[in-house]
Every structure is written in structure tokens, then in C-alpha cells.
Amino acid sequence: MYTSREDVTEAIVIARVRKGLNWADIARQVGRSKEWTTCACLGQMVFSEDEARTVIGLFDLDQTALPWLCAVPYKGSFDGGAPGDPLLYRWYEMLSVYGPALKELIHEEFGDGIMSAIDFRMQVGREADPAGDRVRVTISGKFLPYRPY
Amino acid sequence: MYTSREDVTEAIVIARVRKGLNWADIARQVGRSKEWTTCACLGQMVFSEDEARTVIGLFDLDQTALPWLCAVPYKGSFDGGAPGDPLLYRWYEMLSVYGPALKELIHEEFGDGIMSAIDFRMQVGREADPAGDRVRVTISGKFLPYRPY
Amino acid sequence: MYTSREDVTEAIVIARVRKGLNWADIARQVGRSKEWTTCACLGQMVFSEDEARTVIGLFDLDQTALPWLCAVPYKGSFDGGAPGDPLLYRWYEMLSVYGPALKELIHEEFGDGIMSAIDFRMQVGREADPAGDRVRVTISGKFLPYRPY
Amino acid sequence: MYTSREDVTEAIVIARVRKGLNWADIARQVGRSKEWTTCACLGQMVFSEDEARTVIGLFDLDQTALPWLCAVPYKGSFDGGAPGDPLLYRWYEMLSVYGPALKELIHEEFGDGIMSAIDFRMQVGREADPAGDRVRVTISGKFLPYRPY
Amino acid sequence: MYTSREDVTEAIVIARVRKGLNWADIARQVGRSKEWTTCACLGQMVFSEDEARTVIGLFDLDQTALPWLCAVPYKGSFDGGAPGDPLLYRWYEMLSVYGPALKELIHEEFGDGIMSAIDFRMQVGREADPAGDRVRVTISGKFLPYRPY
Amino acid sequence: MYTSREDVTEAIVIARVRKGLNWADIARQVGRSKEWTTCACLGQMVFSEDEARTVIGLFDLDQTALPWLCAVPYKGSFDGGAPGDPLLYRWYEMLSVYGPALKELIHEEFGDGIMSAIDFRMQVGREADPAGDRVRVTISGKFLPYRPY
Amino acid sequence: MYTSREDVTEAIVIARVRKGLNWADIARQVGRSKEWTTCACLGQMVFSEDEARTVIGLFDLDQTALPWLCAVPYKGSFDGGAPGDPLLYRWYEMLSVYGPALKELIHEEFGDGIMSAIDFRMQVGREADPAGDRVRVTISGKFLPYRPY
Amino acid sequence: MYTSREDVTEAIVIARVRKGLNWADIARQVGRSKEWTTCACLGQMVFSEDEARTVIGLFDLDQTALPWLCAVPYKGSFDGGAPGDPLLYRWYEMLSVYGPALKELIHEEFGDGIMSAIDFRMQVGREADPAGDRVRVTISGKFLPYRPY
Amino acid sequence: MYTSREDVTEAIVIARVRKGLNWADIARQVGRSKEWTTCACLGQMVFSEDEARTVIGLFDLDQTALPWLCAVPYKGSFDGGAPGDPLLYRWYEMLSVYGPALKELIHEEFGDGIMSAIDFRMQVGREADPAGDRVRVTISGKFLPYRPY
Amino acid sequence: MYTSREDVTEAIVIARVRKGLNWADIARQVGRSKEWTTCACLGQMVFSEDEARTVIGLFDLDQTALPWLCAVPYKGSFDGGAPGDPLLYRWYEMLSVYGPALKELIHEEFGDGIMSAIDFRMQVGREADPAGDRVRVTISGKFLPYRPY
């Protein structure tokens, strides 16, 4: 019996390692992008009831997970030290909300290691959109693996 | 006479507002991308001597700026609160080093406002590269303007 | 058996998600505004004995909840970083005491998302009152939903 | 000669006390609400060129203030301790950006004192809007004056 | 079986709410002032063996509470942010050691609410004492109740 | 020429040491209690115009001090670490606003040293008042002098 | 049954003390250097499946440890206060990731005590490497034992 | 005229960039290792009078620098967040005292960039010494340059 | 069964209060000074096997305590920041008030270096005084000089 | 002209280094112990007028230093948190490792209370030792008991 969204998230994290599931496969079955799905499984987004049922099936959760997966969670994974400027803050929040998902997806694709912030390029542009233009930022950093010795 | 890189950065910031220069134009004259050039003008990267001379000309700096523009600076613009995990930390550092440049470039393109972290999409992928594969992350967020009332 | 107000609050939060109850309905049964009731159910206010009995019934709590619901709790939900000026501090405290209730009520009305601090208006005025005039502040911010992709 | 937006803000604060100007009068001359105008004069918003010229006139600033008043500033007046949840954070940011203006306007209307967070009421509602519905929050707190003794 | 003074304090807090006991009555039975007794029951002072036995009886504690009630506890209830100056620090420490007792006694006398720091007076004087003169400070602040709405 | 309330406070502190003035005498001339006057001279309260003129005369300030002494200041002298509970917070704020005055008045009466928080007594009571009852707290602590050796 | 990498690390730490195993022997059996092996056993690195099976055998862990030992962990053992400069940060991170292993290995070789940062020498040099040159830093500090008295 | 060791350090930093001097050359002239000399020039160690005279000559300092270069300075360049364990703390302190020198020497040898904490090896050993054995740690990390784009 | 040194320390603390043992007696039986023994029992030092057996007997611990009492613990009891307990705080304040003088006097007598906290002894005693007895603490630590290389 | 005690302290520090004065000689001329005199010269204690005149003569201060040297200063040199300087840090670490033992032993000898940091004396000396000389510090502080009332 789950008594908080954090309980459900912990159960998902354990089940995924135990069953050796892939985020990409999970996303395909949920019917969403792998970025959003990973972020939601890690407790940051709200599932529809149908999606929640799929999630419960995939990870063998019991039915008490359902209302928690569909309720709005407390979000964020960082503890503080955020920049005060509103524009910079949104990037920090993005990292707090999406950071654990980013970590999972990079490890799933590349294994243990980091994405370099030194051997690194960034590009900022405009994406026209009838509902209001969007900022598009593309970031490319070399993957550096941890190697045993 | 400048006695630190911070002095030179402050002079550049003042001159740019006074003269109404554009980061995109500045980058064209320096001969680098606007992302790297803005980041470097804000005191986070090392210029070659030729680039430094161009920068000195563009902003009417005196010649004592030259060795500071070519020396390795103390980097980063955030005060702390960084996540401990190495992968997440690189993203935080990227924000600390590139954040002020990001702020400048978004305001230059869109005016006062923020890039939404709510109306927001992210995509993670692999970029094949003979010198070692790279992580490519594309981020798209709606621009929200501040409006007077 | 509950041994602190925090125990009772946690039980209320769990029961509400499990039973799918609405804060607006709960408030109607308690006989108070939905703002005060939500804030009190989340552990920040003192119930009268009658109100406490209604709350115990609504959430199927056991009778040991009664004295805790009627005792003065330790209040506040934030960890620190408060502004030092007394006037600004009251606003920070208001956010610490009412913030979780605000979050619940906005999500109940609008679903997952935020109230924009960018597309935003504020109005400050005076409210005449025989017991001493009051400050009235009206705040309006666009609701921005999180959308899956 | 001003070399940052902070310089200009400091000059405005000094001039206002020296000349005994009212925020309400200043706003009328700028042609905006008193809430937005106070917030902008305190360095948190961007003026149009026309508005900036009015501001320069009202406070006897020199002409180097113009580009700073029209450039996007670094915003926020708090040092940290922000709540991590995105919805709660927007309220904290609102306080950081609008707080000093709120303080000025309450003191202008009521004198030295605070707005009570104890003798206090809050109401949350929906404001229909064709461009997307808005959250409307009305807050009412008794004014408590500091009295000498 | 209690294994720390904190355990005993928690048991006292729970028993007092459960039994609806008054701090003033408790102090009368212990034979000390209500200020010192409340502070000691909340884990900040050392009881004599006789007093400890009375406390154990009043709150139905088991006998293992005895040595803990008579041992010197780790004191203080605040986490930090203390002023560095020794004179100011003593006041901060007084608040840390006596604060929870102060909170209990004000709520016992007045109910839920606060003592105003705005509608407030303070008086500092000297109290002659053969063992060394004492500083006497008298503080008077209006009680402001929380009221449901 | 003073450009902030902090400037005026600093000038008062310097003039008082230079001229060897007593807070008790200053208060008599201002016509207020020594507690409120010291607190106000240290930058925490608003003077009336008449009182401000007396202050300017007593400390030989120039006339630009007048509007600052009559404007509402940013208050508080502590940096953070405040307790979250509203009742406890008011005491912390009282210490932040009145602490420096308390320090001055104790040193003026007793010389260098501290008021003991160990050899210490506190009494909490009710003060009936037609405008709403007040909490009265009396605090008595032994004065401990620093002695050279 | 282990439900996180932290569980497995705790079990390893307990088993090692209980069985009196040496890090140097453990490393020999895992077939890696003692530095990397200690760091990995303390939860900072990823084992191959074969290495994980050896680890499970050595410490008598149950089989549910396997997927956790092979999954990428959350790394780092320090809480913050990191320097902002990227070069200095890498050294801080190295200490956060390798520090507990360093502590184990120095104690294993020398017993209880510290490596002096006063009686201390450091040498920085270049290590040619076809895959890109490396920085080599050699550090020598006197071992100072804790001695009972 | 210098009035603190920090003044002298700042003058050395400025003179070195202005004159384009090398730490390796400076060390040769001072007659000490480049690691110790850089650390001492950056204000962390005490020079002998002879060494101080050489330093004054190399950087064209005035003679008031002499007593400061020979007096024991306040050391350390980090602000906090140190680990509590004494062994780990010495490493943190080493980084605080030697970190800025390490940064200078790596940049002098390799240019702008970092030493990787990912592509990284560490070796811990014993160095026999008649005055008490020493801990020897050898660290090797790939150099990663910042590259403009 | 104990699974960490902290477990063993907690068991010692509980047993000592329960059995009413004296630190001075415990030290006599362990055969070490009362200062070192108390410090070691509280989890900060390593016991020899013989001493550990005595400790286990004195406090009725089970045999699994043995390897923990003989292993090097993580040391330190502060978090960074001043301790909240009034007795410990006075020592911290003493360091804050006298620390810079201590630094000056040690450097004046010994030159650049530190006083070891590892090669260190402490003795606590009573100093009879008609005006009230005094605590006398004598501390002896080896001086370790910084040496150039 | 000095405008604060900090100004006077800074002037003393500079004059002492410039003139090469010894704390021991200074103390002899002031007629107090070297411990108290150094502490007072560094801004932590109050001088009598006679002592202040000696200090002014020894360091060639101008006469405006007099009232500052005789006024009660804001004391303390730490910010909260551990000090960064290696010598001061060892004392902080000593407190962290030995503090709980110190607390136990003082309470065992004296009961509940504190050791005064106000009614306090300290003496620093050298202890010859063939294995390297030692720093010996003797500290004596009055015991102040908590007394019930």
C-alpha cells in the first residue's frame, strides 16, 4: 500500500532495476516521449488514468498507486542555491525537475560517465510557433566514460 | 587601467549598453559563434591575442585589457547549492558558466521575459563523432514576455 | 493512534487522495472557507472541537486525532532564507503558512501547472474597517499547464 | 554617469526621498499602474524609451540613465532559501521581484508598520480570459502601525 | 523503555495533549514556577530526583525515564543563524532554550495566535542583588489571535 | 550629504562616541523612552519631523538627514536562521530590531559584559488592555562583566 | 533483499568489519587496483557482472545485490560548499567521490591518524599520452597517528 | 604602500599578468619548487627575508611589502562546506591552501581547461622516512581544453 | 548486533545513564586518562582489543561491538557552524573572541605552523575559588611548522 | 580620524607589522597579560583610558582612537561555521572531536551549567619536548550552574 507519490517513485526505481527494464521501452508502452515518461516515472509529472494503469502493470505496482500517479506531486530534486534572476531560475528549475531523468537517459544510452561541460557547444535560436514563439537551445557535449583501472 | 578580468568584464558590459551593440554583431566581428563570444565577453573564456584586440577595439577598452582577456579567468557565476552527482553537476556548471550569456542572447532575440520551464520540451540523443560520441540535448520552451500594465 | 499533529496531517493527506475528496466539499462540510479549511487540514490552524469531529469523520481518522486537531501546532512549511524586513517577512510567512493550501487549491481548480509570475498583475489598496483599516492586495496570474509530449 | 541599472535605481531612491515624491504621482506621469511603476523604478522592469525619459525628468537623472532603464535587468531582491516546488517558487519569485514595491506602496498609503499575516484572509478563484484563464488571489490583512512610546 | 532525553520529552508532549493537562497545574505539582517547569518538561533543564518522580507520575511515564530526567541534556531548539556578539548571543540562546516553553505558555493563556512585535514595548533596568546586580527587561506585546473565516 | 538611512545611522553612531553622549540623555531631549529612542537612532524606527530636527541638532548632522529619519527604513540587523513558527519568529524579529538597542542600553548601564542566560529567570503573564489584552514577559539575568587580567 | 545501492554499500561496510577483510585482498580478488575497488565497493563506481559476482561472494551478499552493483549510482559523499571554478571543482569532486576510499586505504596501511597538510609537499607535472596528455600530481604528507594517553 | 598581505598578493597577481612572467621562472629565481613558490606568492606561505626581497624585485613591489611577505598570513581560499572527519578535512584544506596554485600551474603548463576527474587514476602508497613515514598519493587525470567554436 | 560505530556509541550512552556509571571510574578500568576514554567511548577514538573487551564488559555490550570499537571511525560531532548546546557554544565563542589572539601568540612564539589536534592531550579539572569554583582545562598539542621545499 | 573600532584595529594591525613590535612587549607596556592585551588590541575588549593612551602611543594612532578603544565593541571573529585558517581550524576540530567528552566531564564534576567565556582567563606557552616542542594552553573559566526557580 503506497501512502505518497515518493513511495510510488521508489517502488518504480526498484522494480526497474530488478526487472532490467529500459526507459525507451517503458515510454513506448506508455505512448509518450522517453524524456517526459522518465521524468514522470521519477515523480515529477501527472499521468492520465490510462497511462497510470500501464505504469502499474509494467512495474507490478499494487492498485493503491493509481491515485498518487494521477495527483499533482511536489516537484523538484535540488535543495536550494538557486539563482535569483527569473530567466536563469527557469533553467535551474528545469534541471531540478528534469535532471534525474536526464541522468537516467544518458546512462541508458552511454553507460556510466558524464556529458562534458568543457568539450561542449551550445546554440540558441528561435522556433516560430502560432501559439507564441519558442526559444530553442541545442547543447552538445562529449560523453566521457568512467573506466576501471 | 584594468587590474583584473572582472574589471574588463564590467567595462565591456558598460560599453555595450552605452553603445547599443548587439552580441550577434560582436560575434561576427570576433569571428566566433554568438554563444561562445557572449560567454567569453562576460569573462568565462580565453581570447586569442587577435580576438582580444578586436574586442578592445569594439568596446574602446585601453590596452591594459589585453593580458587579462588572454589569461585563464576564475569562472562561474553562481554561488553554490550545486548537486553532488558528477553528471548533474556538469549541467549546473554549464548553467553557471553559460547562464549569463544565455540570458543576454535570449533578451537580445526576444526582449524582457523568460523561457518557460512549464510549456517546455526536451530531447536527448547521440551524436556520432570520430573523436568520441557526444550527447545532444535539444530544449524548447515558450517565450513569455513581461508586459507593463 | 496519532502522536503528533504531523501524524494527523499525513493521515489526512493520504485519506484525501485515497478517497478522491475535494477541498471545496470538505470546506463546505466543515463550514468554513475553502482557503482556511485547506490550510487547517494541512496542519497550520486550530480546529474547534465540532470542526475536528467533522474532519475525523470525513477522513476516517481514529479518535486520538481530536486533541491534536484542537491544539496549537508548530506552523510554517519553509526552511529558511526569509527576508529580514518585518513587512516583507509577513509575506514570506504567509507563503510558508498558506503555500501548501494555495498549491492544493490551484491544482484542484486548474490541474497540474503553475500560476505565472511573468504574465502577472498586482493591485494594492485600502479596505476600510471599523476595527482598523486593512491592506487588500489582488493578484492575477495566467495559469500555465504542464502538458505531456 | 551611471554604469549599471543598480546605480540608476539607487539614484531614483535617493531623489525620491530628497524631493518627497509620491509613487502614485510618479505612476500617473509615467502612465502606468502604481504597482508596475514602483516595481520598475526599483530596478525590476524594462521601461520604453518614452517612459524612461519621463523617469529621467522626474528624478533629475542625467542622460546616461536612458540605456540602463531600457535594458533587461538582473531581477530579484532576495538571497535564497526559495521553495523547490515550481508553483510555490513562482510566489516566492513574485515576492522577490515585487516585494520592495509592495513595501513602498503600503508605507505610502499607511505609514510605518506591517500588514498582518495573522489577522488575515485569502481567497483563490478563477478569472476567465480568452488568452487562457487566470488565477486570481485576493489577500486582506490588517495594517498594524509601529507606534513610538 | 526510554533511550534518550528526547524520547522522554516526546512522551511528555504526547501525554500532555492526550490527558489535557495544564502547564500551570503541572508546575504547581512539581513545586516550581510555570516558566522553569515548562522549559524543563520540554527537555532543557535537569530535574531533581523528587521532581522527576512527580513528572513520571503526572504523565504516566515508565521508570526508565528517571535517569534521563536527572541527566544534563543537550539543550537548544534552534538550528543556527545566531548573532556573533556575546551579549546578543545570550538573548538568542535564551530564545532557543526557552522559546518552546514561551510558545506553550502563551498558547495556554491566550490560545492560538502570536505576541505582536509591532504593537510592542520594551523596558530595560537594573535589579540590585547582593550576589551581583541583574539586568531586568520587561516586554509587552499585544496578543493577536488567528481567527477562522 | 546622506544618501541612505544607513549613512545617517553610521553618522549618529560615530558622533555619539566622539561626543560621549548618553542614550538616556538623548531620549530625554527627544521626548521618548530610552528604549524606543535608541532603537530609532540605530535606524529601526521612523521619527516625526520635530524629533528628527532634535536628533540632527544633538549629533550635528547636516539637513539632508531629515527625510531619511522620517522615511520607513529597511529594518532588522540579523542575517537569517530565523525559526519558522510565527510566534517564535516574532521574538526573533524583536531581537533583530531591538537587539542593537538592548546592547547599547545594557552597556550604558553596566559597562562591558553580558546578561547571563544561565543565571536567569523569566515570567510570562497577561496585561489587561481595553484595546486587546497584551502578553507581558519579565526577564531577569545576572550581569557578568568582562575583566582584564 | 536490497532496494538501493546505498543498501548494498551499507551491507558491504558491515560485512567487511565483521569478517576483518582487507581492501588490498578484496581488490586482488576483484582483479582491479585497490583504489578503484575500494571506491566502487563504497558505492561510487559500476561493477561488471563478473566483478559483482565476486563482490557478492566475498561479502556474503544475497543475489538481489547484483543489479544494483551494475547500475550507475548517484555519486558523491560531500554536501556542498564546492568551489565554483571548474578546475578547482574537479578536485573537490575527486575528493567527494574518492575521499571515503582514500580514508579507508590510509587507515588500512597506517592505522588511525591523518595525513598532514602541513608537513606536506606537492608536485605538478605532465604525463605524455597518445590519447591526450595528462596532468600528474604527486602529493606527500607525513602520517600523524592518534595516540591514546 | 601595502596595508595587508592581501594587498601584496593582489599586486603580485596584477604584476605577473602585466609583465607576462612564468611561475616556473619565478620559482627558479626564488630558489624553491614551483609548487611552493606559487602557493606562497598567492598569499598562503611565509617568505624568508631574502626570498621576500627577490619577490619584491621580480614584481616591482615597493619596500612596504617586506614585513607582510614575512608575516604569517590568514590562509585558505574556500568559504566552507568542509567535511567534518579530520582525515578528509586535511585534503579539503590542502585544496583550499594549494588550490589557487594548482590552478595557476596547470594553466601555465596546459592552457585553459581542466584536469578530468572522470578519466582519472589515483594510487595510494607509503613513503618510508626516518622522521616518520609519509603517505604518498599519485593522481593522474586527462587534461581537457576549452575550445572556442 | 551492532552494524556501525554509531550503534555502539548509542548503546554506551544509554547503558551509562541506566547504570549510573562515572566517566572517571570507566577510565580507571580502561587504564587511560578520563579525557581520552570519554572521547573514545563517545565514538571518536580507536580502542585496542584489550580495552575494547573492558568496554564491552562495563556496558554489557554484545560481542559484535568488538570490531567496531577497534576500527577507525568517522570523527567529528559538529556540522559546520556553531554548536547549539550552551556549554559547547561558550567554547566556540571563546574561539571566536580569542582565536585571532591565539593565532598571533602561537605564531609569535613558534613561527608559521599549527598546533596539532592529532598529537594532542587535554586535561579537565576543578580550580577552587572563593567567588565560585572554576573549570580549568589544559591543552597540549605538538607544534607543526610549515616548511618550504 | 577613526570612525569605528574596526578602523582602530586595522590601524593597530598595520602599525605592528610595519614597526615589527612584539605582542609580549606591547603587553608589558600596557601592564596586562599578553593574552588579554592581544585580544583587546584585536578589537575584542575594552581598554581603560590609561591603557588606551599607552596603546595610542605604541602604535602612533591619532587621538580620535581614544573613545573607540574605551567603548564596548561588537565582538567575535567567526561567521558561524568553521574558520578557514588552518591554525584556527585545528581548534574548531578539537572542539568537534573532544566537545562531547568535555561536556560530559564538566557535567560529571560540576553538574548542569556552563563554563563561562566571560569570567575567563587564557594562557599560552611553550612545552619543551625532545620529539618537537608543544603549544600548551591553559584555560580557566568560572562554572555557572543552571538553577531552578
Identify the pLDDT of residue G79.
61
Predicted confidence (pLDDT) per residue in E125-134, tens digit: 899 999 889 9
Identify the pLDDT of residue H69.
95
Q: Which CATH architecture has domain J5-70?
A: Orthogonal Bundle (1.10)
| Among the ranges given (A82-96, I6-20, I74-88, I93-107), the one the predictor scored with the smallest mean pLDDT | I74-88
Angle at G92 between CA G87 and CA G96, to 5 degrees: 145
Catalytic residue among B10, B33, B49, B90: B90
**Å from C17 to nearest chain A CA?**
6
Q: Do chains H and B touch (3 or more CB pairs under 8 A)?
A: yes
Is J147 in CB contact (< 8 Å) with chain E? no
Q: By three-state DSSP, how is residue B96 classified? A: helix
| Assigned CATH topology for domain C1-111 | 434 Repressor (Amino-terminal Domain) (1.10.260)
Cβ contact, residue pair B88, A103, below 8 Å: yes
Identify the pLDDT of residue D38.
92
Angstrom distance (rounded) from CA H30 to CA H37:
7
- Nearest-CB residue to I85 (from E67, E76, E84): E76
Cell of D136: 486570481
pLDDT higher than 60, residue C11? yes
Amino acid (1-letter code) at residue B98 = Y
How would you write the pLDDT of chain D (149 residues) with one tens digit per residue?
899 999 999 999 999 989 989 899 999 999 999 889 999 999 988 999 999 999 999 999 999 999 999 988 888 776 656 677 888 888 888 888 888 888 889 988 998 988 998 898 889 989 999 988 999 999 999 999 888 88
pLDDT higher than 60, residue A80? no
Collect all residues of chain A within an 8 Å Cβ-Cβ radius of residue B123: 33, 35
Cβ contact, residue pair H82, J85, below 8 Å: no
Residues with Cβ < 8 Å from J49, sequence gap 6 or more?
J66, J70
pLDDT higher than 90, residue J31? yes
Catalytic residue among I4, I48, I96, I116: I116
**Å from B114 to nearest chain A CA?**
5
Cell of J114: 556552563
Identify the pLDDT of residue H147.
82
Angstrom distance (rounded) from CA E121 to CA E139:
6
- pLDDT confidence of B41, banded at 50, 70, 90? very high
**Å from H2 to nearest chain B CA?**
16
Is A27 in CB contact (< 8 Å) with chain C? no
- Nearest-CB residue to E149 (from D118, D121, D145): D121
CATH class of B1-113: mainly alpha
Please spell the DSSP secondary structure of H32-77, one letter per residue. Answer: S-HHHHHHHHTTSSPPPHHHHHHHHHHTT--TTHHHHHHSPPP---
Q: By three-state DSSP, how is residue C105 classified? A: helix
Cβ contact, residue pair G3, A10, below 8 Å: yes
Identify the pLDDT of residue H99.
87
What is the chain I residue with the closest CA to H35? Answer: I149
**Å from D124 to nearest chain E CA?**
14
Predicted confidence (pLDDT) per residue in A26-51, tens digit: 999 999 998 899 999 999 889 999 99
CATH class of A113-149: alpha beta
Cβ contact, residue pair H18, B64, below 8 Å: yes
Is G98 in CB contact (< 8 Å) with chain A? no
Identify the pLDDT of residue B81.
62
- What are φ and ψ of residue G34, in 5° steps? -70, -30
pLDDT higher than 80, residue A77? no
According to DSSP, residue C33 is labeled -
CA atoms within 13 A on the CB side of C15: 18
Angstrom distance (rounded) from CA J140 to CA E39:
30
Superfamily of domain D114-149, CATH level 4: Cyanate lyase, C-terminal domain (3.30.1160.10)
Q: Residue B80: which of D82, J83, A75, A83 has the closest Cα?
A: A83
Residues with Cβ < 8 Å from C128, sequence gap 6 or more?
none
| Assigned CATH topology for domain F1-109 | 434 Repressor (Amino-terminal Domain) (1.10.260)
Collect all residues of chain C within an 8 Å Cβ-Cβ radius of residue E112: 45-46, 72
I7-11 mean pLDDT: 95
What is the chain I residue with the closest CA to H31? Answer: I149
Cβ contact, residue pair A103, B86, below 8 Å: no
Q: Which CATH architecture has domain I112-145?
A: 2-Layer Sandwich (3.30)
Identify the pLDDT of residue D96.
84
What is the chain J residue with the closest CA to F147? Answer: J119
CA atoms within 13 A on the CB side of G96: 26
G64-84 mean pLDDT: 81
pLDDT higher than 60, residue H132? yes
- pLDDT confidence of E80, banded at 50, 70, 90? low
Q: Are J112 and J82 contacting, i.e. CB atoms less than 8 angstroms apart?
A: no
Q: Is H116 a catalytic residue?
A: yes
**The three-state (H, E, C) secondary structure of chain G, written as one string:** CCCCHHHHHHHHHHHHHHHCCCHHHHHHHHCCCHHHHHHHHCCCCCCCHHHHHHHHHHHCCCCCHHHHHHCCCCCCCCCCCCCCCHHHHHHHHHHHHHHHHHHHHHHHHHCCEEEEEEEEEEEEEEECCCCCCEEEEEEEEEEEECCCC
Angstrom distance (rounded) from CA A110 to CA A145:
8
Collect all residues of chain F within an 8 Å Cβ-Cβ radius of residue C5: none
Q: How many helices (H) and strands (E) does chain C have?
A: 6, 2
Mean pLDDT of chain A: 89
Which residue stretches of chain F have pLDDT < 70? 78-81
Collect all residues of chain E within an 8 Å Cβ-Cβ radius of residue C35: 149
Cβ contact, residue pair E112, C46, below 8 Å: yes
Q: Are C72 and C97 contacting, i.e. CB atoms less than 8 angstroms apart?
A: no
Chain A and chain B share a number of CB contacts under 8 A equal to 180
Catalytic residue among I18, I90, I121, I134: I90
pLDDT higher than 60, residue H32? yes
Q: How far is CA F119 from CA D41, E138, F144, G54, in A?
A: 52, 17, 10, 63
Q: How far is CA F7 from CA E122, F1, F48, F68, in A?
A: 26, 9, 19, 9
Is A106 in CB contact (< 8 Å) with chain D? no
Q: Are J77 and J68 contacting, i.e. CB atoms less than 8 angstroms apart?
A: no
Domain ranges of chain G: 1-111, 112-149
**Å from D116 to nearest chain E CA?**
9
**The three-state (H, E, C) secondary structure of F19-80, written as one string:** HCCCHHHHHHHHCCCHHHHHHHHCCCCCCCHHHHHHHHHHHCCCCCHHHHHHCCCCCCCCCC
Is J64 in CB contact (< 8 Å) with chain F? yes
| Assigned CATH topology for domain J112-149 | Cyanate Lyase; Chain: A, domain 2 (3.30.1160)
**Å from E2 to nearest chain F CA?**
27
Is G17 in CB contact (< 8 Å) with chain I? yes
Q: How far is CA F18 from CA F14, G148, H66, J62, in A?
A: 6, 56, 35, 13
Is H92 in CB contact (< 8 Å) with chain G? yes
Is B17 in CB contact (< 8 Å) with chain D? yes
Mean pLDDT of chain E: 89
Cβ neighbours of I6 (radius 10 Å):
13
Is I145 in CB contact (< 8 Å) with chain H? no
Q: Are H114 and G135 contacting, i.e. CB atoms less than 8 angstroms apart?
A: no
- pLDDT confidence of E101, banded at 50, 70, 90? confident
Looking at chain D, which subunits does it touch, using at least 3 CB pairs closer than 8 Å as the criterion? A, B, C, E, F
Is A114 in CB contact (< 8 Å) with chain H? yes
Chain-centre distance for alpha carbon G31:
15
Angstrom distance (rounded) from CA D103 to CA D48:
24
Collect all residues of chain H within an 8 Å Cβ-Cβ radius of residue I112: 45-46, 72
Catalytic residue among A35, A53, A77, A93: A93
Is J107 in CB contact (< 8 Å) with chain H? no
Predicted confidence (pLDDT) per residue in A66-75, tens digit: 999 998 888 8
Catalytic residue among A18, A28, A90, A136: A90
Is J79 in CB contact (< 8 Å) with chain I? no
Catalytic residue among H4, H10, H18, H90: H90
Q: Do chains D and I touch (3 or more CB pairs under 8 A)?
A: no
Bridge pairing between strands F113-127 and F134-145: antiparallel
Chain-centre distance for alpha carbon H100:
6
Is E33 in CB contact (< 8 Å) with chain I? no
Strand order, beta sheet including B113-127? A113-127, A134-145, B134-145, B113-127
Cross-strand pairs, C126: C135
**Å from A97 to nearest chain D CA?**
9
CA atoms within 13 A on the CB side of G26: 30
Predicted confidence (pLDDT) per residue in J74-133, tens digit: 888 776 667 878 888 889 888 888 888 899 999 999 989 899 999 989 999 999 999 899
- The complex's ipTM works out to 0.87
Q: Are J46 and J70 contacting, i.e. CB atoms less than 8 angstroms apart?
A: yes
Angstrom distance (rounded) from CA F106 to CA F97:
16
Predicted confidence (pLDDT) per residue in C71-111, tens digit: 888 887 776 566 778 888 888 888 888 888 888 899 889 98
Is C117 in CB contact (< 8 Å) with chain B? no
| Among the ranges given (A82-86, B138-142, E21-25, H36-40), the one the predictor scored with the smallest mean pLDDT | A82-86
What is the chain I residue with the closest CA to E132? Answer: I131
